[in-house]
Amino acid sequence: MHETGWAKINLALHVRARRSDGFHEIETLFAFVDGGDAIVAEVADKDALKIDGAFAEGLSAGDDNLVMKVLALLRARYGADRVPPLGVTLSKTLPVAAGIGGGSADAAAMARLVRRHFLPELGDAALARIVSPLGADIAACVASATCLGVGVGEELSPVPELQLGGTPVLLVNPHQPVSTGPVFAAWDGIDRGPLFTGPDWRAQLLGARNDLQRPAIAQCPAIVDMLTELGALRPWLARMSGSGATCFALFDAAAERDAAAAILAQRHPGWWTMTGVLR
Protein backbone atom coordinates (compact mmCIF):
# COMPACT_ATOMS: atom_id res chain seq x y z
CA MET A 1 0.00 0.00 0.00
CA HIS A 2 1.49 3.31 -1.12
CA GLU A 3 0.58 6.97 -0.66
CA THR A 4 2.28 10.36 -1.06
CA GLY A 5 2.28 13.25 1.39
CA TRP A 6 2.12 16.04 -1.19
CA ALA A 7 4.03 19.20 -0.29
CA LYS A 8 1.71 22.05 0.72
CA ILE A 9 2.34 25.69 -0.06
CA ASN A 10 0.43 28.76 1.07
CA LEU A 11 0.04 30.96 -1.99
CA ALA A 12 -1.09 33.66 0.44
CA LEU A 13 -1.64 33.79 4.19
CA HIS A 14 -3.47 36.71 5.78
CA VAL A 15 -3.67 36.75 9.58
CA ARG A 16 -6.82 38.62 10.63
CA ALA A 17 -7.03 38.26 14.43
CA ARG A 18 -5.59 36.56 17.49
CA ARG A 19 -8.24 34.50 19.23
CA SER A 20 -8.77 34.11 22.97
CA ASP A 21 -7.80 30.42 22.75
CA GLY A 22 -4.35 31.36 21.45
CA PHE A 23 -5.06 30.39 17.84
CA HIS A 24 -5.37 32.87 14.98
CA GLU A 25 -8.08 33.64 12.46
CA ILE A 26 -6.49 33.35 9.03
CA GLU A 27 -7.37 33.40 5.35
CA THR A 28 -5.06 31.30 3.21
CA LEU A 29 -4.89 29.87 -0.28
CA PHE A 30 -3.58 26.33 -0.17
CA ALA A 31 -1.94 24.69 -3.17
CA PHE A 32 -0.05 21.41 -3.50
CA VAL A 33 3.01 20.23 -5.37
CA ASP A 34 3.21 16.92 -7.22
CA GLY A 35 5.96 15.60 -4.95
CA GLY A 36 6.49 14.93 -1.28
CA ASP A 37 7.06 12.28 1.36
CA ALA A 38 6.27 8.62 0.68
CA ILE A 39 4.34 6.19 2.85
CA VAL A 40 4.40 2.43 2.35
CA ALA A 41 2.34 0.13 4.57
CA GLU A 42 1.51 -3.55 4.93
CA VAL A 43 -0.74 -5.51 7.26
CA ALA A 44 1.28 -6.63 10.28
CA ASP A 45 0.91 -8.28 13.70
CA LYS A 46 1.08 -4.90 15.40
CA ASP A 47 1.44 -1.25 14.48
CA ALA A 48 4.98 -0.12 13.79
CA LEU A 49 6.55 2.92 12.14
CA LYS A 50 9.97 3.16 10.52
CA ILE A 51 11.25 6.49 9.21
CA ASP A 52 13.98 6.89 6.61
CA GLY A 53 15.02 9.51 4.07
CA ALA A 54 17.03 12.70 4.04
CA PHE A 55 15.04 14.35 6.85
CA ALA A 56 14.38 11.35 9.10
CA GLU A 57 16.87 12.30 11.81
CA GLY A 58 15.32 13.32 15.10
CA LEU A 59 11.75 12.35 14.20
CA SER A 60 9.79 10.19 16.61
CA ALA A 61 8.62 6.83 15.29
CA GLY A 62 6.37 6.29 18.29
CA ASP A 63 2.66 6.65 18.89
CA ASP A 64 3.06 10.45 19.09
CA ASN A 65 3.89 10.66 15.38
CA LEU A 66 0.94 12.14 13.45
CA VAL A 67 0.98 9.21 11.03
CA MET A 68 0.36 6.77 13.87
CA LYS A 69 -2.14 9.11 15.53
CA VAL A 70 -4.24 9.07 12.36
CA LEU A 71 -4.11 5.28 12.22
CA ALA A 72 -5.16 5.00 15.87
CA LEU A 73 -7.93 7.57 15.42
CA LEU A 74 -9.48 5.78 12.44
CA ARG A 75 -9.22 2.40 14.16
CA ALA A 76 -10.87 3.78 17.31
CA ARG A 77 -13.71 5.18 15.21
CA TYR A 78 -14.30 2.23 12.87
CA GLY A 79 -12.97 -0.75 14.80
CA ALA A 80 -9.97 -3.06 14.65
CA ASP A 81 -11.95 -5.48 12.49
CA ARG A 82 -11.93 -2.87 9.71
CA VAL A 83 -8.58 -1.15 10.31
CA PRO A 84 -5.94 -3.81 11.02
CA PRO A 85 -2.45 -3.29 12.48
CA LEU A 86 -0.02 -1.89 9.91
CA GLY A 87 3.72 -1.82 9.50
CA VAL A 88 4.43 1.63 8.05
CA THR A 89 7.54 3.12 6.46
CA LEU A 90 7.68 6.89 6.09
CA SER A 91 10.34 8.25 3.72
CA LYS A 92 11.00 11.89 4.57
CA THR A 93 12.08 13.88 1.53
CA LEU A 94 10.53 17.17 2.70
CA PRO A 95 12.36 19.27 5.30
CA VAL A 96 10.86 19.41 8.78
CA ALA A 97 9.42 22.61 10.33
CA ALA A 98 9.55 24.18 6.89
CA GLY A 99 6.12 25.70 6.24
CA ILE A 100 5.17 23.11 3.62
CA GLY A 101 2.98 20.88 5.77
CA GLY A 102 5.30 17.90 6.07
CA GLY A 103 3.72 16.41 9.19
CA SER A 104 0.19 17.35 8.16
CA ALA A 105 0.76 16.04 4.63
CA ASP A 106 2.03 12.73 6.02
CA ALA A 107 -0.95 12.45 8.37
CA ALA A 108 -3.34 13.12 5.50
CA ALA A 109 -1.52 10.59 3.33
CA MET A 110 -1.95 7.97 6.03
CA ALA A 111 -5.65 8.81 6.25
CA ARG A 112 -6.04 8.42 2.47
CA LEU A 113 -4.14 5.10 2.53
CA VAL A 114 -6.40 3.69 5.24
CA ARG A 115 -9.49 5.03 3.47
CA ARG A 116 -8.49 3.57 0.10
CA HIS A 117 -7.85 0.06 1.41
CA PHE A 118 -10.19 -0.31 4.39
CA LEU A 119 -12.78 2.50 4.51
CA PRO A 120 -13.69 3.21 0.88
CA GLU A 121 -17.08 4.68 1.75
CA LEU A 122 -15.44 7.81 3.21
CA GLY A 123 -15.30 10.87 0.99
CA ASP A 124 -12.69 13.60 1.29
CA ALA A 125 -14.95 15.91 3.29
CA ALA A 126 -15.85 13.23 5.84
CA LEU A 127 -12.26 12.09 6.17
CA ALA A 128 -11.07 15.68 6.63
CA ARG A 129 -13.62 16.28 9.41
CA ILE A 130 -12.45 13.19 11.27
CA VAL A 131 -8.71 13.90 11.17
CA SER A 132 -8.69 17.71 11.32
CA PRO A 133 -8.61 17.81 15.16
CA LEU A 134 -5.05 16.48 14.93
CA GLY A 135 -3.84 19.63 13.12
CA ALA A 136 -5.31 22.62 11.29
CA ASP A 137 -3.57 21.95 7.95
CA ILE A 138 -4.47 18.25 7.81
CA ALA A 139 -7.97 18.94 6.48
CA ALA A 140 -6.62 20.73 3.41
CA CYS A 141 -3.97 18.05 2.90
CA VAL A 142 -6.58 15.27 2.64
CA ALA A 143 -7.71 16.33 -0.84
CA SER A 144 -4.38 18.09 -1.56
CA ALA A 145 -6.13 20.40 -4.02
CA THR A 146 -6.09 24.18 -4.34
CA CYS A 147 -8.60 25.66 -1.89
CA LEU A 148 -9.35 28.58 0.42
CA GLY A 149 -8.90 27.97 4.13
CA VAL A 150 -10.40 30.22 6.81
CA GLY A 151 -10.88 29.98 10.56
CA VAL A 152 -7.62 28.42 11.71
CA GLY A 153 -7.29 26.99 8.21
CA GLU A 154 -9.63 24.03 8.60
CA GLU A 155 -12.77 25.60 7.06
CA LEU A 156 -12.25 24.87 3.38
CA SER A 157 -13.95 25.96 0.18
CA PRO A 158 -13.03 25.47 -3.49
CA VAL A 159 -11.61 28.29 -5.60
CA PRO A 160 -12.44 27.24 -9.17
CA GLU A 161 -11.21 30.56 -10.57
CA LEU A 162 -7.65 29.61 -9.55
CA GLN A 163 -6.72 27.45 -12.52
CA LEU A 164 -3.23 26.56 -11.33
CA GLY A 165 -2.89 22.85 -12.14
CA GLY A 166 0.35 22.20 -14.01
CA THR A 167 1.99 25.50 -12.99
CA PRO A 168 5.78 24.96 -12.72
CA VAL A 169 6.99 25.55 -9.15
CA LEU A 170 10.36 25.70 -7.42
CA LEU A 171 10.67 25.24 -3.64
CA VAL A 172 13.74 26.41 -1.69
CA ASN A 173 14.69 25.91 1.95
CA PRO A 174 17.93 26.95 3.69
CA HIS A 175 18.10 23.81 5.87
CA GLN A 176 17.01 25.89 8.87
CA PRO A 177 13.87 24.78 10.77
CA VAL A 178 11.38 27.44 11.83
CA SER A 179 8.92 26.79 14.65
CA THR A 180 5.34 27.70 13.80
CA GLY A 181 4.22 28.64 17.31
CA PRO A 182 6.80 31.37 17.95
CA VAL A 183 6.22 32.85 14.49
CA PHE A 184 2.48 33.18 15.08
CA ALA A 185 3.15 34.50 18.59
CA ALA A 186 5.39 37.23 17.11
CA TRP A 187 2.70 38.45 14.67
CA ASP A 188 2.26 42.17 15.34
CA GLY A 189 -1.53 41.97 15.71
CA ILE A 190 -2.27 44.33 12.82
CA ASP A 191 -5.10 43.23 10.52
CA ARG A 192 -3.90 44.27 7.06
CA GLY A 193 -7.10 43.22 5.34
CA PRO A 194 -8.72 40.23 3.67
CA LEU A 195 -7.70 38.23 0.67
CA PHE A 196 -8.92 39.84 -2.51
CA THR A 197 -11.18 37.81 -4.72
CA GLY A 198 -12.10 38.41 -8.32
CA PRO A 199 -11.94 37.07 -11.86
CA ASP A 200 -8.27 37.99 -12.40
CA TRP A 201 -6.65 35.26 -10.32
CA ARG A 202 -3.08 36.25 -11.13
CA ALA A 203 -3.71 39.81 -9.96
CA GLN A 204 -5.41 38.36 -6.89
CA LEU A 205 -2.28 36.40 -5.98
CA LEU A 206 0.10 39.25 -6.74
CA GLY A 207 -1.93 41.54 -4.48
CA ALA A 208 -1.93 39.06 -1.60
CA ARG A 209 0.76 38.56 1.06
CA ASN A 210 2.06 36.32 3.83
CA ASP A 211 1.60 38.10 7.15
CA LEU A 212 3.98 35.67 8.88
CA GLN A 213 6.94 36.62 6.71
CA ARG A 214 8.27 39.39 8.96
CA PRO A 215 8.25 37.36 12.22
CA ALA A 216 9.66 34.34 10.35
CA ILE A 217 12.55 36.45 9.02
CA ALA A 218 13.36 37.47 12.60
CA GLN A 219 13.80 33.77 13.37
CA CYS A 220 15.48 32.89 10.06
CA PRO A 221 17.11 35.83 8.20
CA ALA A 222 18.03 33.52 5.30
CA ILE A 223 14.43 33.93 4.09
CA VAL A 224 15.38 37.38 2.81
CA ASP A 225 18.25 35.89 0.80
CA MET A 226 16.02 33.23 -0.72
CA LEU A 227 13.31 35.69 -1.73
CA THR A 228 15.90 38.04 -3.20
CA GLU A 229 17.49 35.24 -5.22
CA LEU A 230 14.15 33.89 -6.38
CA GLY A 231 12.90 37.33 -7.40
CA ALA A 232 16.00 37.87 -9.54
CA LEU A 233 15.17 34.69 -11.47
CA ARG A 234 11.98 36.33 -12.78
CA PRO A 235 9.15 34.06 -11.67
CA TRP A 236 5.69 35.59 -11.86
CA LEU A 237 5.26 35.01 -8.12
CA ALA A 238 7.76 34.37 -5.30
CA ARG A 239 6.67 34.20 -1.66
CA MET A 240 7.34 32.46 1.65
CA SER A 241 5.08 29.51 2.45
CA GLY A 242 3.29 29.08 5.76
CA SER A 243 5.38 30.06 8.75
CA GLY A 244 8.62 29.57 6.78
CA ALA A 245 11.35 29.07 6.03
CA THR A 246 10.54 27.45 2.66
CA CYS A 247 9.94 29.88 -0.18
CA PHE A 248 8.41 29.10 -3.55
CA ALA A 249 8.46 30.56 -7.04
CA LEU A 250 5.86 30.04 -9.78
CA PHE A 251 6.93 30.14 -13.43
CA ASP A 252 5.16 30.18 -16.77
CA ALA A 253 7.32 27.41 -18.25
CA ALA A 254 9.10 24.34 -16.90
CA ALA A 255 12.29 25.36 -18.71
CA GLU A 256 12.34 28.65 -16.78
CA ARG A 257 11.84 26.78 -13.50
CA ASP A 258 14.60 24.28 -14.28
CA ALA A 259 17.02 27.01 -15.29
CA ALA A 260 16.31 28.83 -12.03
CA ALA A 261 16.86 25.63 -10.03
CA ALA A 262 20.20 25.06 -11.76
CA ILE A 263 21.34 28.61 -10.97
CA LEU A 264 20.37 28.27 -7.31
CA ALA A 265 22.12 24.91 -7.01
CA GLN A 266 25.31 26.49 -8.29
CA ARG A 267 25.09 29.61 -6.14
CA HIS A 268 23.79 27.98 -2.96
CA PRO A 269 24.68 24.28 -2.86
CA GLY A 270 23.66 24.14 0.80
CA TRP A 271 20.04 25.00 0.07
CA TRP A 272 17.39 22.30 -0.39
CA THR A 273 15.39 22.65 -3.61
CA MET A 274 12.53 20.76 -5.18
CA THR A 275 11.01 21.22 -8.63
CA GLY A 276 7.55 20.18 -9.65
CA VAL A 277 4.17 21.41 -10.81
CA LEU A 278 1.07 22.34 -8.87
CA ARG A 279 -1.54 19.58 -8.66
Q: What SS3 state is found at 256?
A: helix
Is 50 in the active site? no
> Contact, 115 vs 122, CB < 8 A?
yes
Q: Residue 236 and residue 247: Cα distance in Å, rounded?
A: 14
Contacts of 157 (CB under 8 A, 6+ apart): 147, 148, 150
Is 211 in the active site? no
Active-site choice (8, 37, 69, 106): 8
Residue 58: phi, psi to the nearest 5? 85, -5
> Contact, 118 vs 83, CB < 8 A?
yes
E strands of 167-242, at which residues? Answer: 168-173, 237-240
Listed residue (179, 73, 89, 82) closest to 128, CA to CA: 73
Q: How far is CA 171 from the centre of its chain?
A: 12
Residue 104: phi, psi to the nearest 5? -65, -40
Active-site choice (37, 69, 92, 137): 137
Residue 162: phi, psi to the nearest 5? -90, 90
Which amino acid, residue 253?
A
Active site amino acids: 8, 137
